[in-house]
Amino acid sequence: MDGRLKSFEGLLGIMDDLREKCPWDKKQTMESLRNLTIEETYELADAIAAGDLVGVKEELGDLMLHIVFYAKLASEQGAFDVRDVIEEQCEKLIARHPHVYGDLKLESADEVKQNWERLKKHEGKRSLLTGIPDSLPAMVKALRMQDKTAQVGFQWDTTSEVIDKVNEEVAELQEAATSADHERMEQEFGDLLFALINYARYINVDPELALARCNQKFKQRFQYIEEKAGEQGRALEEMTLSEMDALWDEAKSLLT
């Protein structure tokens, strides 16, 4: 037997045991697992952002357990089981990759994405944006919407046009900020963020990952300031901004 199949069979067996014998696992429902699954997904995202392959392996295992758990719960209700989940996914992948499993010729990743969207529409999807979860983080959702609409040509022709749009939104936000209209400021700020996310897409930067790494960098540098202040026996509130800036510069030179 393929070792991968043997390992997966072992996981299914453990899931059966846990559902039968563990008081905690016996109590779980799809609803009770939902938030835990979201947490596990973010833990995987953290490991990926950190380049932690050991962590990625661990978090993938946790997510795989959740998938098996949901399938087990569904099987107890007579809805479907893990075999149904896998077989349906296999059928969908084969149907959506006619350039691999059929005679269609597609030469680039962009052509594959465009054909993927055409196939989904033929499957009955009424909108290109159908299937993007409402609960996605706003930045990720914006990127996904831009990426999908680009497949039908709804995008700027050049990167310079995109940066012009960013600059236009900056000017509109600055103008709005001089008013007392908070709703307008919020709207213009959202427009600017949307334009920046679009620019990131054009230069092949993942904005969510870029911001996650920026957040981590800020955290490390600020904690360095806190640590050095503590070594001096000083509270941050007692330090001037220039003193904290000097420690920030030290952190920049020491921490990558």
Residues 58-70 have a mean pLDDT of 97
CB atoms within 10 A of CB 126: 7
Are residues 31 and 11 located together in one domain of the fold? yes
List the CATH number of the domain containing 27: 1.10.287.1080
The 10s digit of each residue's pLDDT in 88-115 is 999 999 998 999 998 899 888 888 888 8
Please check whether residue 71 is in contact with residue 80, taking contact to mean a CB–CB distance below 8 angstroms: yes
Is there a single domain that holds both residue 29 and residue 69? yes
In-domain check, residue 10? yes
Structural domains of the chain, count:
4
Nearest to 145 by CA among 61, 64, 207: 207
Q: What is the pLDDT of residues 14-59, one digit of tens each?
A: 999 999 999 999 999 999 999 899 999 999 998 998 899 999 999 9
> Do 185 and 215 sit in the same domain of this protein?
no
pLDDT over 90 percentage in the chain: 76
For residues 2 and 132, give the distance between their C-alpha atoms in angstroms, rounded to a whole number.
35
Structure tokens at 211: 């911001």
Residue 201 counted as domain residue: yes
**Within 131-206, where are the H helices?**
138-150, 159-177, 182-202
Task: Please say whether the beta carbons of 250 and 240 come within 8 A.
Answer: no
Q: Are 106 and 164 in contact (CB under 8 A)?
A: no
Q: Is there a single domain that holds both residue 9 and residue 63?
A: yes
In a domain, 56, yes or no: yes
pLDDT digits (tens, 9 = 90+) for 198-249: 999 999 999 998 998 899 999 999 999 999 999 999 999 999 999 999 999 9
Residue 182 sits in the same domain as residue 244: no
Domain boundaries, position 101: 96-126
CA distances (Å), 221 to each of 66, 178, 252, in order?
36, 33, 7
